[in-house]
Structure 1
Amino acid sequence: MSLEFSCPQCSGTLEVDESMIGTVIRCGDCGTLMRVPSTPYGIAERVRDESGRASPPSGSSGDGPPAELSPIPSTGSAPPPRPRPEAGAPWPPPPPASPGRSVAFWALIVISGLIVGSCLCCCGILAVLPEPDWQIYTNPEGWFQVELPAPPRSQLRPPAFLPGVNNPRVEGCNLDKYGEDYRVISWNVQPLQRLVRTDEALMQRALEDLQGQLRGERIVEGPRLVPGQPHLTYELHWYDKGNRLHIARLVLAGERFYLLLVQSRYFWAEPDPERVERFFQSFRVLRLRAQDPLPPDLPVPQRPKQKDNRGKK
């Protein structure tokens, strides 16, 4: 009658005759010496040789001392081998697979990369923009002169808070590197009001109209009189609905109003006080009335030539 048992080293199943109970045999798979157990389906007792070492695996020469049989240590690249179950027992279920990265994780990585790339691109663009280059600007009609931190630009639109002003003229520049806009907005005083009202009355009426148009904005300073100026001047600071700061001076000189305006394009940055003060202090009125002579050395603006279409069909 045969007897089945398991190898203590490789867990392999061995089958021998019952007459070999208690004898020492060698495993045919791993070459381990073991003593046949007396009970079926048990685990054999491992036997060591006289030197205290396990017997060498089958197929070795056996000239040298047999090496100790020990399991191969596992590395970090591969998991250790799963132990074999006992004879007739089912294999244990495999370990659960580690969860991978979710779609939300990769979407967050992509969005973060786009934001960082956009910030780096904007910083690079701002780094190459020119620094302030102050230059004197003279109105083509000879009304005023002012210093601008950048070359003047044409076709500038009047601000939305001047709807009651007749034909305002807008001149100035944009300091793109710092997000600052410099404007000189001028318009004529109505002749009838000029005759019946004083300068203070005209200024108060203009300030009331301006504050009425800024009713939805947040006025933080003024209007206050600016002393030491050659013409009647009031200053006013306010934040618009986008939390962008506006600094303005309203000047009345002869037949014209001048609104010196410095505004910021971004809510996180405010205009530089030194540049604003230089812009305001450099403003100079050259003419008070239209019949006054033009200042010397002022280039006369050339009028565009009109095409003669007579005789053409």
Structure 2
Amino acid sequence: MFFWLVVVGAVLLVGVVGCCGGLFLIMPDTKWQTHESKEGGFKVELPSKPHPDVARAADLQLEKGTKAEGTILLKRGGVRFVVIYRDIGSAKQRRKTDEQELNDRIDRLQRVLEAEQISSNPITVNGFPGREVTLQTRKYGWHAVRVIVADTRLYILFAGGGVALPGDPMVYRFLNSFEITEPELLQEGKRREQQAKLAPDAPKPGGDEKANPWKGRDDTEVADVAPGRAAEEAQKAQAAAKNLRGAAAEVAAFALTRAAEEAQAARDAAPVAPPVEVAPHPRPVGDSSSPSAVAPAAAVEVAPHPRPVRN
């Protein structure tokens, strides 16, 4: 069991003290203040003084090595504002990716609370990936939870319960005020932010599962995913080839059009040669096509052939 808060005892305490006329002694006016945790490496705004042992006061059941800091507003029926944290292996050391770590923690949280997930949205806190989910439980009411995987530390911001309703401004003031303060984590977060700026198309911090989809998966999972992955890559390759062919055709058409335009311009700019007059060709004498040009033929006299003399 990951954790849960039991507030029945706190609610009963409010009732008993209220009957005695001392209700306001344990329900001071809301006074927001910044709480900084040196051990947890974070700071956050709380609506009242942090409880010295909020885990025990709220009856949190935590895993070994997990700690909690925060407060409870009894005057609002026990609305909780708690930061839970624990150390984990770095992204390079652990088998799970940041995304898998987020999914695992949220799934376990839902099982423990027997909660229905209303919404889920990715977030980034100080350069680290996170997820904000809103949950509705039949027994404990509405809660907003933020899970952040800050390389070597896991943070879970848990707020809600009591009379808190969806969109509660106090809940979101608490969530939005959270900041990481540990120098080493801040340095790693800045490195990830700079890396994301230099490569805008690269996976966001914590998105190394996309860069290496097989990391942390056994052979069966890889076998199930590989065919679909191959088909997706094939479709991308076909689309890229089609785009290249289209671009090549456009370049060729442009080049031909440009060459034709330049040739026409050259022809238009060339000087025009003057017309050449051709003298008529004289007809030869005796040309049958002109009767007047025919010269009369000279008369030829033929001498008679002499007869042979007989002896």
**TM-score, structure 2 as length reference:** 0.45
Counting strand residues as a fraction of each chain, which structure ranks higher? 1
TM-score by length of 1: 0.45
Higher relative contact order (CA 8 A, sep 6+): 2
